[in-house]
Amino acid sequence: MAYVVGLRCRECGKEYPQKGVHVCEVCFGPLEVQYDYARMKGKVTRESIERGPRSLWRYRDLLPINAEPRAGLYSGYTPLRRAHHLEKILNVRELYIKDDSANYPTWSYKERVVSVAITKALELGYHTVGCASTGNLANSVAAHAAVAGMKAFVMIPHDLEQGKVLGSLIFGPTMVRIQGNYDDVNRLCSEIADKYKWAIVNVNLRPFYTEGAKTFGYEIAEQLGWKFPQHTVCPTAGGTILPKIHKAYQELIDLGLVEDNAPKIYSAQAAGCNPVVEAIRAGRDLIKPQKPKTIAKSIAIGNPADGFYVVQAVRQSGGWAMDATDPEIIDAIKLLAKAEGIWTEPAGGTTLAAAIKLIASGRIPRDESICVCITGNGLKTTEVVADQLDMPTSIPAKLDAFDAFIAELDGAGGTRELEPLAAGGPTP
Ligand SMILES: *Cc1c(COP(=O)(O)O)cnc(C)c1O
Ligand SMILES: [Zn+2]
């Protein structure tokens, strides 16, 4: 059953049919997908969702597609984990990690938006897809386009991590490195979308694409036993995921599927690119564009398309915002790995570091439930920790050499550090 009815301008309300447009021709406002929520009532239920596949498509009734899903059949439904070790270390009562570093097949939250965009592109008759990307989106578009048998053109800034570049190239797209930052790439892609009539997933298919991010929020609530964490800390780049988590929570409340406990949402950015955090701190709606300078390249967007809606969602939910310096980001990456066995990229380090600072400053109370959104995988960004870790000692393949190695470690107090913390429990 499809409940999507069309597109509507968020600013002036003008309505549009479902097609590859993203800005209002009257007022240039962004377009948003409209659903028939009244018709969903009583039909879209906890049970109807639980009967669905173990992928993001279990929420298809709440997504803007009319035909069958054509991409991402194995994407989404990533782990929500109780983080017992971090709870002890940070002295908080109830902490969860929503872990999209394990999202299949390219290990970031972008599988969610791309699965919906590619399905919609095929529904609308496109044969070629593209994107403007800070890396993860390019990986995901390239992989899903390969499965769907579509042509893919992916455009990235020229200075991305090698893991992100190879992580797209392997799938065989046409890839172009643009001499500029993400905002330059994005501007060029708007012109390309107009001229070449391709489905640029985050430009002309943006209204459909962004809806896929709601599944991150639905999953948090369902996996918590149809409850919301009281505090959700989420990274911000272009500003897609945060407002869509907010929208997902609101939809679940409106449909009567989850009780409203006034969940608060917090935006995390790198200190070297923090236009949204700055606006929230200053009590401004207006985002002042910046030139990014941070190791957190996947979230280094100085002029976020939906920054205003992040500010709105944070404010409406009663949340706040926090940034983290590059050294804080690296420390948080290492902490998450050692405490919980999750290797995230700098975007995840930013989010955990921001959460830690929000807890330390008293913005997030220690005795309330907290969810930290991990959106990408550290294996793609090995550069950022390579010089932080000591290369292992090399010894001959002889037991006495190993004995000598252990004696030296004990002398330095080395093995004592490895004492295990108390065992963690399963996700509720
Ligand atoms: C794209 C991305 C984000 C968030 O971006 P938004 O544009 O704000 O949705 C966060 N983390 C990672 C790893 C990303 O690739
Ligand atoms: Zn308008």
Pocket test for ligand 1, best of 134, 299, 342, 352 (most atoms within 8 A of CB): 299
The verdict on whether omega for the bond into residue 396 sits within 30 degrees of 0, i.e. cis, is no
Q: Closest-lying ligand to the alpha carbon of 243?
A: 1
> Rounded to the nearest whole angstrom, what is the distance from the C-alpha of residue 29 to the centroid of ligand 2?
5
Topology at the third CATH level for domain 4-72+110-210: Rossmann fold (3.40.50)
Distance, in Å, from the CA atom of 24 to the CA atom of 9, rounded to the nearest integer, reads 6
Distance, in Å, from the CA atom of 85 to the CA atom of 109, rounded to the nearest integer, reads 24
| pLDDT tens digits for range 35-70 | 999 999 999 999 999 999 999 999 999 999 999 999
Amino acid, single-letter form, for residue 226: W
Burial call 217-252: b when 16+ CB within 10 Å, e when fewer: bbbbbbbbeebbbbbbbbbbbbbbbbbbbbbbbbbb
Question: What is the 8-class DSSP label of residue 108?
Answer: B
pTM above 0.85, yes or no: yes
Q: Cβ atoms within 10 A of the Cβ of 67, count?
A: 10
Judged on CB neighbours under 10 Å (0-12, 13-18, 19+), 386 is exposed
> Rounded to the nearest whole angstrom, what is the distance from the C-alpha of residue 16 to the centroid of ligand 2?
10
Task: Give pLDDT, residue 414.
Answer: 63
Task: Give pLDDT, residue 118.
Answer: 98
Q: Which residues touch 322 (CB under 8 Å, ≥6 apart)?
A: 266, 267, 268, 277, 354, 355, 357, 358, 361, 363
Within the chain, what is the greatest distance between any pair of CA atoms?
Answer: 79
Burial call 168-178: b when 16+ CB within 10 Å, e when fewer: beebebebeeb
Distance, in Å, from the CA atom of 215 to the CA atom of 229, rounded to the nearest integer, reads 15
What are the boundaries of each domain within the chain? 4-72+110-210, 80-107+213-384
Q: Which residue has the tokens 């964490």?
A: 229
- Region of 364 (left: φ > 0; alpha: ψ -120 to 50; beta: rest) is beta
Amino acid, single-letter form, for residue 163: G
Pocket test for ligand 1, best of 108, 242, 287, 329 (most atoms within 8 A of CB): 108
Q: Closest-lying ligand to the alpha carbon of 238?
A: 1
Distance, in Å, from the CA atom of 290 to the CA atom of 307, rounded to the nearest integer, reads 12
Structure tokens that stand for 370 in this block: 């907290």
Judged on CB neighbours under 10 Å (0-12, 13-18, 19+), 394 is exposed
Task: Give pLDDT, residue 412.
Answer: 77
Of the options 3.40.50.1100, 3.20.190.10, 3.40.190.10, 3.20.20.10, the CATH number for the domain spanning 80-107+213-384: 3.40.50.1100
Coil/strand/helix, residue 425 = coil
Distance, in Å, from the CA atom of 156 to the CA atom of 173, rounded to the nearest integer, reads 12
Q: Give every residue of the chain whose pLDDT is below 50, as ranges.
A: 418-420, 423-428
Rounded to 10 degrees, what is the CA torsion of 215, 220, 222, 228?
-120
Distance, in Å, from the CA atom of 54 to the CA atom of 24, rounded to the nearest integer, reads 36
> Rounded to the nearest whole angstrom, what is the distance from the C-alpha of residue 249 to the centroid of ligand 1?
19
Structure tokens that stand for 113 in this block: 């938006």
Q: 4-72+110-210 and 80-107+213-384: same fold?
A: yes
Task: Give pLDDT, residue 418.
Answer: 46
Q: Please list every protein residue whose CB sits less than 6 Å from any atom of ligand 1.
A: 108-110, 136, 235-241, 298-299, 345, 347, 375-376
Question: Please, are residues 82 and 425 in contact by the beta-carbon 8 Å criterion?
Answer: yes
Question: What is the 8-class DSSP label of residue 41?
Answer: T
Question: Please, are residues 43 and 256 in contact by the beta-carbon 8 Å criterion?
Answer: no
Q: Closest-lying ligand to the alpha carbon of 21?
A: 2
Coil/strand/helix, residue 58 = helix
Task: Give pLDDT, residue 410.
Answer: 86
SS3 for 389-415, per residue? CCCCCCCCCCHHHHHHHHHHHHHCCCH
Question: What is the 8-class DSSP label of residue 227?
Answer: -
Task: Give the nearest ligand 1 atom to 100 CA.
Answer: 13
Question: Please, are residues 160 and 297 in contact by the beta-carbon 8 Å criterion?
Answer: yes
Structure tokens that stand for 173 in this block: 């797209």
